[in-house]
Each structure stands twice: as structure tokens, then as C-alpha cells.
Structure 1
């Protein structure tokens, strides 16, 4: 398990980043269009503090978060525990059966939604128990992530959807910053990898939209090394930036 330097160390600032990114929830709408979420069981792999789980539940899904870092998993469970049960649109569906043996599900599993502690390479769920599996930057993409992809395929029901959101380093202002931060990163090789795995690219043009400059600066500084963050902030005024992403999706 590789620590995530942004959300692990500064979950409060990462919360502000979640609020700034894709404020119209185009990603959620795209996933819903690819596989209707009403009545579906959705697994959010690397859910962090569970920021996106309520949004998926609002679309009618029974949501499960998976998070390897226990402090974040506890925050995600608390977020769901604070959510009024009456706000869900669908009647609860049966819970997926956990796989035998460790890692066991978190005890904070609610009637409609829950949080599991575990890693993508060893999903703590039985075969064919999930309709939609999603991840947002939670699992570094490209060669080396095949064990996690095999696990996703195992837990998905026939006709289930895998949908993974990745940065597009080939376009947008933010994409240029991302490319500068990882000079060895090869976005063309990454796209070739996903296509070999049978995934289709859905390119989305989104943005960070912050309420003030202080928030914008704070989230830039958790995403980039100090020297690059200084250069970005010195040359980019304002409180927003265009942000291109790719939603890689495959129906199993």
C-alpha cells in the first residue's frame, strides 16, 4: 500500500478539493448513464473519507466504500452514519456477502451503505456481488495494477461496470501541471494499457472552482511539490483552473 500524500496527511484540505472539483457532478452523471445506479450495488475503491458515497446513494445506489487507510475509513463510516436514512431513494438491497477470511468488513456498515477496510488487490467481497465498481485516482493506473483489475472482474456481476477516473496529462491547464510534476509519466502508454485491457475512454472537460484564492492555493500545495506549487501560483491568478480527465470504463 502506497501512502497518498494529499488526503492521508491533509484530509481537511482534500475535502475542499473534493468540493471544488466537478461541482456539477458530471462524473457521477456519466457513470449513471453507462450503468443506471438506481437499485445497483456500487463499490467505491479507495473511497478516502467517503466524500462521493452520498452522491451515489442519492442516485439510488447501495454504496460500499473500500479504503485501505484506517483513519480515512473511519471518517468515511462516520460520514455515512451521519446521513439520514430517509434521504435514500431506493429500498435497501441485500448486502453483498463478504469473502471468507481477512480482511473483514468494518463494523460500521449501515443498512444501506457501509465502509470496508481493505486493498484493491484483495477485495473483501464474494464473487459476483457488485454491479458498479468505481475509483477516482485511488489506484495508480497502468502496468502493475492488473491484480486489482482481476479482483474487480471477480466481484462484478455479469453486465457490471468498472469505471476508473484518471488525469489526462495531454490537455487542460491542470493536465500540464500534472505532466510537469511527473516527468517520467507517459500518458500515451497509459491510454494504450487501458485499451489493451478492453476499456473505453470517455474524456471529460471539468474544473476546479474554489470560493476564494486561499482555498485554491491550499489545494495546489497539497497536490504538487513546493517548488512547482510556487511556480503555478506565481503564474496562475484567480480561483479556478480547467481540468481534463478520462473516465475509463468497461462492461463485464
Structure 2
């Protein structure tokens, strides 16, 4: 059986995680950086670890088709309900939410132009089977994006390092380089509507002890946040099934 590592935040607190999704990167830095590498207008997109489907409608405004893959059944249902509630009939018809894992993607070989995984490949080493699946499903010249924390910079990065001192950012970055992925560093921010929202999100992201320390020392509703955008382009000359 394919191993599934539970997500301690969205699996247990999907409502609070929805607040976090709405509050991360309000300036659209991540999307602009991805589009600078490969726009997905008119292309087929795969969102791995799509959770409750937060990013699916946004992709569907421009993509030809969007497949969201999620291993946790309650989140699959939330994602499908989100898609069903989309007012735009054409955009809604372009999205398909499927139960599945990164290690065994329920997608044909050579059928995807753009892969997106946001905080779904958090620690790098150990995700090699999922990366092999990404290579399988990409078309010639297709591009994959993985968004991950940059624990070497920013206020949020310092919180992360104190919470998980065994995390080795240099080893993670070296792992992605060995796999043939490129890295671009981005500066974004959290911007919560209220202090109560900020506190709730901090408490699902960190242990109780660390959350208490963070909230006691950090006022307000926002924090600077550094991330890595890892990208991979499938060889243009590699034959794939599909188009």
C-alpha cells in the first residue's frame, strides 16, 4: 500500500487552513513567478495534493483542463463541493478532482503540461517516487512547479527553524538540484484579516509551545515569508504518450 503522510494542518483543521490559503501571498508573487516560467493558458494542469481544491478554480480560468489529486477522502469531498459551487459552467467543466497519491497519480502518461504542488513535497528527500510520477505524466517540454518554505530567510523562516531544528535547508536544496530541478527564491507575506485569524493559523502550523512564543513576541496580523519555487522541465525530445 502506498504510504500517505498525514498533513497535520489541513487534514485536522480545513476551515482554518482555508483562512491561511486566502492570506498567503496576497500580492500574487508565486503565480507571477510561475507564469514567467510557463503560462498555463490553454494547457492541461495537474495540482498534486490539491487539498480542499483552493487553487483549482484559479487554474481553470485559463487552463484547458485541470486535474486535482488528493489522497485524503474528506478533502476530496471538500474539493469536489468547491468545484460544484463554481458559477462559471465552462470553468467548472474543466476541473476534475480525483482521489490518489503522488506516488501513483491517477493520470495517463504524457498527458499533462503543467504540474503544481504547493507545500506537498515539504522535505524533499523521500519523495523520489512522486517525482518519478511527475516525469511520467509530463508531456515533452512540460513544466512542474513545487512551492516550499525557504527556511534560511524571513521572520517565518526563523520560526520554522526554531520549531524544527533538525530541518537542513541546504540538504533539501541539494536534493532538488540532484533531481534536476531549478530553484528561484521568492519573498511573499501572510496577511490575515484579523488578529484572531492570525493566531488560529499560527496554532495549526506550529506546536502549542512554539505558537505561544511566536504570538507573544509578534504583534499584528502579518508576517514576511520566504519561499522556494522549484521547477523542472521535461526534455523536449523525450517521447511521451498523449498529444
- Alignment of 1:14 with 2:17, yes or no, is yes
Distance apart, 1:44 and its partner CA: 0.5
**Residue from 82, 85, 97 that aligns with 1:82:** 85
User: Which blocks of at least 5 consecutive residues in structure 2 are unaligned?
Assistant: 235-243
Whether contact under 8 Å (2:27, 2:188) holds in the other structure is no
Whether contact under 8 Å (2:122, 2:149) holds in the other structure is no
Distance apart, 1:59 and its partner CA: 3.2
Whether contact under 8 Å (2:112, 2:142) holds in the other structure is yes
Aligned partner of 1:224 in structure 2 is 206
- Alignment of 1:111 with 2:93, yes or no, is yes
Q: RMSD over aligned Cα, in angstroms?
A: 1.2
Whether contact under 8 Å (1:63, 1:112) holds in the other structure is yes
Whether contact under 8 Å (1:41, 1:61) holds in the other structure is yes
**Residue from 25, 29, 43 that aligns with 2:28:** 25
Distance apart, 1:52 and its partner CA: 0.8
User: Which blocks of at least 5 consecutive residues in structure 1 are unaligned?
Assistant: 89-109
Distance apart, 1:220 and its partner CA: 0.2
Question: CA–CA distance in 1 between the matches of 2:133 and 2:194?
Answer: 41
Question: CA–CA distance in 2 between the matches of 1:54 and 1:25?
Answer: 15
**Residue from 44, 47, 50 that aligns with 1:47:** 50
Paired residue secondary structure (1:216): helix
Aligned partner of 1:102 in structure 2 is none
Aligned partner of 1:126 in structure 2 is 108
Distance apart, 1:60 and its partner CA: 3.3
Question: CA–CA distance in 2 between the matches of 1:60 and 1:29?
Answer: 15
Aligned partner of 1:164 in structure 2 is 146
**Number of equivalences:** 231
- Alignment of 1:36 with 2:44, yes or no, is no
- Alignment of 1:210 with 2:195, yes or no, is no
Correspondence 1:120-199 to 2 at 5 A? 120-199=102-181
Whether contact under 8 Å (1:46, 1:139) holds in the other structure is no
Question: CA–CA distance in 1 between the matches of 2:44 and 2:31?
Answer: 15
Question: CA–CA distance in 2 between the matches of 1:250 and 1:63?
Answer: 19
**Residue from 46, 68, 91 that aligns with 1:65:** 68
Distance apart, 1:85 and its partner CA: 3.0
Whether contact under 8 Å (1:45, 1:67) holds in the other structure is yes
TM-score by length of 2: 0.92
In the TM superposition, structure 1's runs of 4+ consecutive aligned residues that sit over 6 Å from their partners are none
Whether contact under 8 Å (1:165, 1:247) holds in the other structure is yes
Question: CA–CA distance in 1 between the matches of 2:231 and 2:123?
Answer: 13
Paired residue secondary structure (2:76): helix
